[in-house]
Amino acid sequence: MRIRKARKEMTTRETFSNLIDLDSYSPDEWNMIVELAQQIQKNPALYRSRCSGKIMGTLFYEPSTRTQMSFQTAMLRLGGTIIGFDNPSTSSVSKGENIKDTTKIVSSYADILVMRNPYEGSAKAAALTADCPVVNAGDGGHLHPTQTLTDMLTLKNEKGRLDHLKIGLCGDLRYGRTVHSQLKALSRYEGNEFILISTPELALPSYIKDVLNARGCTYKEIYSLDEAITGESLDMLYMTRIQKERFSSEEEYNRQKDVFRLDTEKMKKAPKDMIVMHPLPRVDEIAMDVDDDPRAMYFTQAKNGMFVRMALIISVLEGRLGAPKLLTGTIKDDVECTNPKCITKTEHYLPHSFKVQGDICECEYCDERILLD
C-alpha cells in the first residue's frame, strides 16, 4: 500500500525545470541557452555573482573529468558553491542506499542536482522524487544532453549555424550517449544531414533511426572513415571513443577497438573547413599529432562546456525553462523492461511507465521497446 502511494506521488507531483532529455524543451529554448553562453563567453565578469547563495549538488556514480569539473567550475564562476561526491564508494551509496533516498536528501540541501549514473533512465528516476531540478550528466549509454549543448555552442561559434550542416559521426554509435543526444537535437534543425560511420555491431540503435526518419532527416550508414572524409564534404566530423565499460566481455571490446583512427594522413584528404569534434576522453581514435591541426576543435569544445553549463544553471535557477512532466505514458507494472541496464532493474520501487503503441511498449526511462505477447 505504501509503495502504491509513493508511486502515485512520483507520477502526479509538480515537477521542476529538469534537464533529462533535450527533447523536453524546444529548439528555441536550446538556442536561448546557447546564445546566453555566447554572452557569458564575451564577458564572464558580468555573471560572477549571478548564483550567489545557490548550491549545486554533483552526484557522480561514474567517472568524469569534463562534465563534473565544468559543472563545478561553472557554479563557482557564477558565485555559487558546490557539494557532492565523485565516487559512490565514499558516500552512503556503498551501504546500499537507493537513488530515491540519496537524491531526496541531497536535493533538500542543494538548489540544483547534477547526476551521472551508469544505468539508463537514472536521471529521470532521480527527478521523480528530488525536491530541486535534476540535470542528466550522462545516464549509461542512453543520453548526455549537456554534452549536446556543448557541441551546439561549438558548432555555432565555429560554423555560425546549427542548420544545413553535413555531420559525420564515427565510432561507438550504439552505446554513445553523446551521439544519441546530438542526433535527437540536431535533427530538429532544417537541412542537417548525417553520415553514420561505425561497424555493424556498433551501429545506431533503431529508436534513434526512427527519430531521424520521423523528422525526415537524410542519413547514410557507412563503414569506412576514409570514404566519409574523402567523399562526403563534411562540415564536422564527430569522433567517439569505443567505450570499454559498455561491453559485456573483453573479447567483444577487443574486436571493436582500433577500427577507426583519425590521423594526419586522413586529415590531409579531409575538406579544408571540416572541423573535428570529440566529447573526450579519447583513447587511440585520434592521433595526438592531429591536435596541432587548426581544424581540431575538441579542446575548445571542452572549454565551451563550462560556458554552456553556466548558461544552463542560470536558465534553470532563474526559471527561464518550463517544467515538463517526467512520465506521460501508461503505468504497466506487470510489464518488465528488457534492457538489463534500465534503471528499473535496480530501483524496484519505480513505476513501470511506457508509451504504448499497439503491441509495442517503449520504456519511459531508457527508450527500450518491448513487444507484448
Q: Active-site residues: which are they?
A: 66-67, 95, 116, 144
Stretch that binds ligand CP, among 168-176, 242-250, 275-283, 291-299 (CB under 6 A): 275-283
Q: How many binding residues for ligand CP (CB under 6 A)?
A: 10
Stretch that binds ligand CP, among 9-17, 41-49, 61-69, 118-126 (CB under 6 A): 61-69
Stretch that binds ligand CP, among 66-74, 119-127, 237-245, 256-264 (CB under 6 A): 66-74
Gap between the Cα atoms of 288 and 291, Å rounded: 6
Collect contacts of 204-212 with beta carbons under 8 A, ≥24 apart: 204/173, 204/174, 204/179, 204/180, 205/174, 205/180, 206/369, 207/362, 207/367, 207/369, 208/180, 208/183, 208/184, 211/183, 211/184, 211/187, 212/183, 212/187
Give the closest residue to 47 by CA, choosing from 350, 309, 370: 309
Grid coordinates in use for 252? Answer: 567483444
Please give the biggest Cα pair distance in the chain: 66
Stretch that binds ligand CP, among 64-72, 164-172, 191-199, 319-327 (CB under 6 A): 64-72
Considering only residues 65, 87, 94, 264, which one is a binding residue for ligand CP as defined by CB under 6 A?
65
Give min distance, CB of 343 to ligand CP, in A: 19
Q: DSSP of 212-277, one letter per residue?
A: HHHTT-EEEEES-HHHHHHHS--SEEEE----GGG-S-HHHHHHHTTS--B-HHHHHHS-TT-EEE
Q: With respect to ligand CP, which residue has the nearer C-beta, 152 or 280?
A: 280
Considering only residues 102, 122, 147, 256, which one is a binding residue for ligand CP as defined by CB under 6 A?
147
Q: With respect to ligand CP, which residue has the nearer C-beta, 107 or 147?
A: 147
Is residue 332 close enough to count as binding ligand CP by CB under 6 A?
no
Give min distance, CB of 68 to ligand CP, in A: 6
Is residue 117 close enough to count as binding ligand CP by CB under 6 A?
no
Length of the chain: 373
CA 132 to chain centroid, in Å, comes to 20
DSSP type of residue 19:
B
Is residue 132 close enough to count as binding ligand CP by CB under 6 A?
no
For residue 167, list its beta bridge partners. 194, 236
Stretch that binds ligand CP, among 37-45, 276-284, 310-318, 351-359 (CB under 6 A): 276-284
Gap between the Cα atoms of 182 and 180, Å rounded: 6
Site for ligand CP in 282-321 (CB under 6 A): none
Is residue 344 close enough to count as binding ligand CP by CB under 6 A?
no
Is residue 279 close enough to count as binding ligand CP by CB under 6 A?
yes
Is residue 64 close enough to count as binding ligand CP by CB under 6 A?
yes
Give the closest residue to 144 by CA, choosing from 22, 307, 36, 316: 22
Grid coordinates in use for 53? Answer: 547563495
Give min distance, CB of 269 to ligand CP, in A: 27
Q: With respect to ligand CP, which residue has the nearer C-beta, 84 or 279?
A: 279
Is residue 18 close enough to count as binding ligand CP by CB under 6 A?
no
Considering only residues 280, 312, 313, 326, which one is a binding residue for ligand CP as defined by CB under 6 A?
280
Considering only residues 66, 282, 332, 355, which one is a binding residue for ligand CP as defined by CB under 6 A?
66
Q: With respect to ligand CP, which residue has the nearer C-beta, 10 or 113?
A: 113
Residues that bind ligand CP (CB under 6 A): 64-68, 138, 147, 279-281
